[in-house]
Amino acid sequence: MPTYSYTCKCGKTSEKYFSIHKDKPASVKCECGKRAKHDFMADHSTFKHGASYRVESLALGVDPEDLAKTAAEDKAMGSEASEWVVEGDVAKPVFTSLEQHRKYYEIRGYVDKDAFY
């Protein structure tokens, strides 16, 4: 049976199993009593199979000359990339967990329209 991930606003995540022959609910009840929404990003992450999460974000890339300044701002804001990869004329942040990736967007007020969270 497929595993579906649900995330609540309180921060708790849970996995539920539903038959592929039935519609899965868009939300389930969380331990805190609120409704946890289906988290598509977690469904398709690589965590379930033991592989590590690693995302290099070209969209959040900066000019390599601005890398030191950007990294310092990250640290001051409380959301740092795990590392930065410089390729040609762009330095890209690297995220090693879904939570780190989400936090980076949230603190800056960015919206990842492809993430479904």
Residue 45 to residues 14, 38, 49, 73, 99, Cα–Cα distance (Å)? 14, 14, 9, 28, 11
Residue 50 tokens read as 């033991």
The answer to whether the predicted template modeling score (pTM) of the entire model surpasses 0.75 is no
Residue 20 tokens read as 């592929």
Question: Tens digit of pLDDT for each residue in 75-98?
Answer: 898 888 888 999 888 898 888 888
Question: Tens digit of pLDDT for each residue in 33-73?
Answer: 999 887 765 444 434 444 467 777 877 888 999 999 999 99
